[in-house]
Structure 1
Amino acid sequence: MSPHSPGTGNRTGSRRDFLRGAAALSAAIAGAPLVTACAPGTGAAEGFQGRIADHYPADYDRIIETSRAENGLTIYSNTSQENWAPLFAGFQERYPWADNLAVTALGSTEVFQRFYSEDAGHGSAADLLVANAPQEWARFAHRDAALAYDTPERPFFDDKLEGLPGVFALTVDPVVIGYNALLLEDVPPPRSLADIARLCESDPGRFRDNITTYALSNAYGFAINHTYVATAADPWATLDRLIPFVRAETSAGAMVDKLVSGEYAISYFQSGGVIALTAEQSKGLIDWSYIEDGTPLVPRSAAILRDAPNANTAKLFIDHALSYAGQVQLSEGGLTPHRGDLRDDDAPGHYDAIVEAVGADNAILVGYEELDDTDVDALTQRWEQARSA
């Protein structure tokens, strides 16, 4: 995502900066070696055919060769195909025998429920789980279900990479404000939750039930709300004004579809990767902004399963996603890479650029926190209290 807030009249870094044309960048990245030789700090890598970067272990070619006999990769994920596409293309260009990438698209909670159900029976077919659901990852950690693996790319990341054993943050994505620009053409576009609250109060009949966000029953939405309330300065001063106008949805897809159709004028705590791709394709109908009074950033994490049928291919996938080339490809897909040596011209919407754009005090990192029923009930009741006011 572009490090500059988008919106009418503020195009210093346009959405096209981070979706900069698959033709140009994909062509450049597709031919990149295991760790691109031009990437800073990566050494003299020349691809997977026996010559890899200096920071990779001497026996890494064993993982590569063993993966050739495996049957591709099976991923359970809540990441959209559009977000995945550049990374998958780069991975398969690098490892052409891994041509069977089977992705089961599920909700953030369903990713884990599907695995638990299968694991309790005859075992899961999945090799990798990928989801942006920090609370679910905290629960997953208690099951000792992740394969113990330490990526050679670790030196290029800080401690956001692995907050739990065997769980790697591939990206750290912002949640943002999305809006239907046609429906808001007569008012200033919102840049904060306080802006949305002021709009609602200025014309209650127009905006009641015309604002949306995630329902707290969505694990992703709950984690965002819980962290925002615990971190932002005096959050209920704004939320108490805003929530009475909200009609919540259980998925990002429903929020975006209804924003496009005009059923909603504004969404907040909207998945940045989803809304940015929608805005790019909407020819000006949909726009978005970081949240100036607190932008939550959520890790999109992955784990190789302990009993993964294709464990070596899964290791290659994790290492590719965390390599310089892989992080650029994730940026091309509208997600937010957080590798420390990324250049702005390769991945203009990387994590550090977003923190700089919104300000460190307004960047709210959503951590892996397992909440008990008391925490869940308290926030749910407080939210409903605001809703019925």
Structure 2
Amino acid sequence: MKRTAVAPFVLATALVLAACGSNAGSPTSAGPSATADVGRAATVTPVDAGVLQAARTEGEVLLYTNSEEQQMTPMIKAFEAANPGIEVRSLTLGNQEMFQRYETEVASGGSTADVVMSSDAVGWLSFLRGGNVADYTDPNTPNLPDYALLGKGVYAFSEDPVIAVFNKAVLPENKQPTSMAELAKMAPQLDGKIGATAISNVIQFGATSAYLDKYGDAGWQTLERIGAHAGLESDNGPLVTKLAQGQYAAAFFVSGAVRAFIVGDVAKVVNYRYLTDGTPLLPRAAAVTSQAKHPNAAKVWLNWLLSTKGQEAACAGGFTPYRDGVKCAFGLPQVKAIVGEDNLIIGAYDPALATEQPRIVARFNKAFGR
């Protein structure tokens, strides 16, 4: 499957260029806002002194991630400032590519990733079955919500919502749907003006499967009504480019990572919404690998990711923190305040996804004329 998030520079470039030639006016609201109580700072349990000392002796940690450099940089800088003596090296790869690369490197006896970071649920399930995740329980585990532990040793560090994005010049804000049900009702009049990514995209599959898990056949009916009037793009890059240019008026199940870049001139062209019945939150996970060459440094990195400071740094990279006490303009409390707690759809790495995937893919493609 393809990389999950649109590269920030691709989004920013496409939308800024469109904004420069737009007469859409100054932005009234780039996206939804809500006053949300983030609560008291969550309890943080660091690794023990022995692990920390061993990590400093190792001196580095290698990450394989599906996140772009712009997203990782704030996290890496904050980690290295908090943990002098441990250098972070990060390599951005596609989801399938990173899992395959790890297995190939292990088979050949070469060095490989100490930590894998991905949002590909099916990929993680296969990686776990292959014995590629270290048997490690982070000290923060008792302090985390149940949904944060996705499998033995696999932890969510971000709960990324998918969003709906609109071209305000084509579809003014006061006419934009606020739910998937409304989008489906409007679909005939927006014929050909609704866009989404193909189901081969990790974000699309994750969002679709989570949405259907909550709404079942009624969810399929909504998707089929939209699909009859929608176009699919291979990835987020072409999707947001066409949206910025006005070929699409609306796009749904778009990676929430783009929220941080819908500002300034970009916000003159587009805005985003959390659809009240269609905002699945997809866990972005991290795990220490079973063949890590720097296992202690890897544990320190993961432990820090799950701390309040780590979650704040993740927010700076456009990720969605979920721990209490983390100040972030688009953290989980803000999403919950807008869509309502009863409407939260938090994805999980359910083993059934692997067997259900072909059926979901086939029906989705039929609904969207593929």
Please list every run of at least 4 consecutive aligned residues from structure 1 whose deviation after the TM superposition is greater than 4 angstroms: 7-12, 371-374
Residue 199 of structure 2 is aligned to residue 212 of structure 1: no
8 Å contact kept, 1:115–1:126 = yes
The alpha-carbon deviation at position 372 of structure 1 amounts to 6.8
Other-structure match for 1:29:
none
The alpha-carbon deviation at position 144 of structure 1 amounts to 1.6
Structure 2 residue ranges without an equivalent (≥5): 1-26
Give SS of 2:336's match.
helix
8 Å contact kept, 2:203–2:255 = no
The alpha-carbon deviation at position 41 of structure 1 amounts to 5.6
8 Å contact kept, 2:46–2:303 = no
8 Å contact kept, 1:108–1:220 = no
Give SS of 1:381's match.
helix
Letter in 2 for 1:354: V
Letter in 1 for 2:33: G
Letter in 2 for 1:248: L
Other-structure match for 1:302:
286
Other-structure match for 1:25:
none
Other-structure match for 2:177:
190
Query: Residues 263, 121 of structure 1: CA spacing in aligned structure 2 closer, same or farther, 3 A cutoff?
Result: farther
8 Å contact kept, 1:129–1:302 = yes
Q: How does 1:141-220 map to 2 (within 5 A)?
A: 141-185=128-172, 188-204=175-191, 208=192, 210-220=193-203
Give SS of 1:280's match.
coil
Question: Within 2, Cα distance between the matches of 1:158 and 1:136?
Answer: 23
Other-structure match for 1:65:
53
29, 33, 39: which one pairs with 1:13? 33
The alpha-carbon deviation at position 150 of structure 1 amounts to 2.0
Letter in 1 for 2:58: E
Other-structure match for 1:32:
none
More helix by share: 2
Deviations 1:296-337 (A, max 9, x none): 111100011111112121111111111111111212222111
Question: Within 2, Cα distance between the matches of 1:181 and 1:265?
Answer: 8
Q: How does 1:228-377 map to 2 (within 5 A)?
A: 228-232=211-215, 234-273=218-257, 275-280=258-263, 282-339=266-323, 341-343=324-326, 346-371=327-352, 375-377=356-358
Deviations 1:331-351 (A, max 9, x none): 222211111x325xx234332
The alpha-carbon deviation at position 124 of structure 1 amounts to 4.5
Give SS of 1:298's match.
strand
The alpha-carbon deviation at position 271 of structure 1 amounts to 0.7
Give SS of 1:147's match.
coil
Letter in 2 for 1:220: I
Query: Residues 283, 364 of structure 1: CA spacing in aligned structure 2 closer, same or farther, 3 A cutoff?
Result: closer
The alpha-carbon deviation at position 352 of structure 1 amounts to 3.7
The alpha-carbon deviation at position 192 of structure 1 amounts to 1.9
Relative contact order (alpha carbons < 8 A, sep ≥ 6): 1 or 2 greater? 2
TM-score (norm 1): 0.78
Question: Within 2, Cα distance between the matches of 1:232 and 1:178?
Answer: 22
What is the Cα-based RMSD across aligned positions, in Å? 2.8
Question: Within 2, Cα distance between the matches of 1:373 and 1:324?
Answer: 33
Question: Within 2, Cα distance between the matches of 1:256 and 1:214?
Answer: 10
8 Å contact kept, 2:71–2:317 = yes
Other-structure match for 1:98:
86
Query: Residues 372, 319 of structure 1: CA spacing in aligned structure 2 closer, same or farther, 3 A cutoff?
Result: closer
Give SS of 1:213's match.
strand
Other-structure match for 2:109:
122
Letter in 2 for 1:310: H
TM-score (norm 2): 0.82
Question: Within 1, Cα distance between the matches of 2:92 and 2:183?
Answer: 32
The alpha-carbon deviation at position 118 of structure 1 amounts to 2.4
Deviations 1:139-192 (A, max 9, x none): 221112111222222233111221201101111111110122233238612322
67, 72, 82: which one pairs with 1:84? 72
Question: Within 2, Cα distance between the matches of 1:371 and 1:230?
Answer: 11
Deviations 1:249-306 (A, max 9, x none): 3333343333334443322111112x20231251422211111123111110001111
Deviations 1:192-245 (A, max 9, x none): 2233333331243xxx1x322231122332232122123126113321211122
Counting matched residue pairs gives 339
Other-structure match for 2:18:
none
Deviations 1:333-379 (A, max 9, x none): 2211111x325xx2343324422321233211111023477623322
Identity %: 27
Question: Within 1, Cα distance between the matches of 2:359 and 2:83?
Answer: 49
Question: Within 1, Cα distance between the matches of 2:268 and 2:355?
Answer: 43
